[in-house]
């Protein structure tokens, strides 16, 4: 399979009477864009606000991020989700780089929502502070989950995907500045051509803890809670086969933007044919029951052995309960003679003194840490808030609170905040963005 991603770099975004792209400037017809958003009758309010790097802007509650793209030859940007199912990862896709569509709640947040600061101390904690963000600020009539801590946010998330597809279409007739090419031949041919290189698989443990459908990551529209580990071509993931779910504390979740740009996959591609033979991706579930965890580890190891892998990289989306899947998978692979490296964040408490993962094993002896989800962060007020700042404390966001005997409320009267890293939107960057680690003293 050969995938070409043609890149158009966005240096600035403005509103105009036409949605177009020219010399690094993306212009958006706001009225037309909002009509796309409001195709869903459940959307009761919608606005689009631009947030640029360096501006004194705080965005919360952030629910999702998507890179605007256009699929050459037609077809849904996310098959099985926004349109009919077909295989992706082959052909050409146009991508607007340096920007994202952020889905932001006008009022109501939840456990899985997060915060982005475009300037100051908070900006260093998330990849999205460096992007030109098209913030879809919206509300719905989904009263059945308005006051629930855990929300599916379906109408808002799907609106964001439609908006990203609409914006991406503006470059369909243009020549891109660069083209990234991702190609893996069939495994038998790669084994012949790279016979002397170690064979490596990437194991992605995507979020799938919720038994009720609608909260978990989707593969071609299929809820990952209902799957067993499966082998996928890395191009499929980079080209829209997987979308993010609504479940998981915000700092440790993987947004759809993350799947579209997965740095770890791109890094393995970079080494392919040089230092490794990159075989592909094993996508694994993260279910709750012990039997399901054992089955997943068994399937991952079986697939890796059948593929002839010498080594594996395992990355988990989330922490806590998924740590058991993470460690079980690493242990199983190591016992099969497959050298394994793990990628994860840690939950070591506000003082950093607690056990980093829920469960550990001596065979998990090569783990890359992406930081402590419980680390306390204090941030100064911002001149502008997109969304609703009070949602951080009021609505059960995983890193915020309404009151604390020692620390007081997360949101202070002057607009400054104190919170756990948990609330930084996709801030741990386990997919490969992370600049954080842990330090031993």
Tell me the pLDDT band of 80, cut-offs 50, 70 and 90: very high
Q: Is the pLDDT of residue 198 over 80?
A: yes
- Per residue in 392-438, pLDDT (tens digit) is 999 989 999 999 999 999 999 999 999 999 999 999 999 999 888 76
Q: Angle at the Cα of 262 (from 232 to 4), degrees rounded to 5? A: 75
Percentage of the chain beyond pLDDT 70 is 99
Mean pLDDT of 298-308: 98
Strands 230-232 and 242-243: unpaired
pLDDT, averaged across the chain: 95
pTM over 0.75: yes
Q: Is the pLDDT of residue 376 over 80?
A: yes
Tell me the pLDDT band of 177, cut-offs 50, 70 and 90: confident
Provide the 10 A C-beta neighbour count for residue 175.
8
Tell me the pLDDT band of 286, cut-offs 50, 70 and 90: very high
Structural domain boundaries in the chain: 2-423
Answer yes or no: are the C-beta atoms of 104 and 42 closer than 8 Å.
Answer: no
Mean pLDDT of 174-182: 96
Q: Is the pLDDT of residue 441 over 70?
A: no
Query: So what's the pLDDT on residue 149?
Result: 84
Tell me the pLDDT band of 233, cut-offs 50, 70 and 90: very high
* Residue 20: Cβ-neighbour burial (10 angstroms; 0-12, 13-18, 19+): middle
- Whose tokens are 């010399």? That residue is 23
Q: Is the pLDDT of residue 323 over 70?
A: yes
């Amino acid at each position: 399979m050969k995938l070409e991603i043609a890149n158009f770099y966005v240096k600035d975004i403005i509103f105009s009477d036409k949605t177009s792209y020219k010399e690094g400037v993306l212009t958006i017809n706001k009225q037309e864009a909002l009509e796309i958003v409001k195709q869903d009758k459940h959307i009761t309010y919608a606005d689009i606000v631009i947030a640029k790097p360096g501006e004194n802007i705080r965005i919360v509650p952030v629910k999702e991020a998507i890179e605007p793209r256009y699929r050459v030859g037609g077809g849904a940007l996310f098959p099985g989700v926004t349109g009919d199912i077909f295989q992706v990862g082959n052909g050409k896709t146009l991508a607007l780089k340096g920007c994202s569509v952020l889905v932001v709640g006008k009022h109501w947040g939840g456990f899985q929502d997060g915060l982005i600061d475009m300037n100051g101390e908070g900006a260093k904690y998330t990849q999205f502070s460096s992007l030109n963000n098209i913030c879809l600020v919206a509300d719905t009539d989904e009263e059945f989950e308005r006051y629930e801590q855990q929300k599916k946010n379906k109408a808002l998330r799907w609106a964001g995907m439609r908006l990203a597809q609409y914006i991406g279409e503006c470059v369909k007739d243009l020549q891109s500045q660069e083209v990234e090419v991702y190609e893996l031949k069939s495994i038998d041919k790669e084994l012949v051509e790279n016979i002397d290189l170690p064979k490596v698989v990437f194991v992605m443990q995507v979020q799938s803890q919720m038994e009720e459908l609608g909260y978990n990551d989707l593969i071609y529209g299929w809820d990952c809670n209902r799957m067993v580990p499966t082998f996928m071509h890395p191009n499929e993931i980079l080209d829209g086969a997987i979308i993010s779910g609504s479940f998981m504390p915000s700092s440790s979740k993987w947004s759809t933007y993350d799947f579209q740009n997965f740095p770890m996959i791109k890094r393995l591609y970079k080494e392919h044919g040089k230092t490794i033979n990159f075989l592909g991706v094993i996508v694994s579930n993260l279910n709750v029951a012990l039997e399901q965890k054992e089955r997943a580890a068994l399937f991952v190891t079986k697939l890796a052995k059948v593929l002839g892998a010498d080594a594996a990289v395992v990355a988990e989306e989330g922490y806590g309960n998924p740590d058991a899947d993470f460690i079980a998978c690493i242990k199983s692979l190591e016992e099969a003679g497959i050298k394994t490296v793990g990628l994860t964040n840690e939950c070591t408490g506000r003082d950093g003194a607690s056990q980093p993962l829920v469960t550990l094993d001596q065979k998990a002896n090569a783990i890359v840490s992406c930081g402590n989800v419980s680390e306390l962060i204090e941030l100064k007020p911002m001149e502008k808030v997109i969304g609703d700042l009070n949602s951080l404390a009021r609505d059960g966001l995983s890193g915020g609170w309404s009151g604390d005997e020692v620390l007081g409320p997360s949101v202070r009267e002057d607009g400054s905040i104190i919170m756990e890293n948990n609330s930084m939107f996709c801030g741990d960057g386990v997919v490969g963005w992370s600049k954080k680690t842990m330090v031993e003293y």
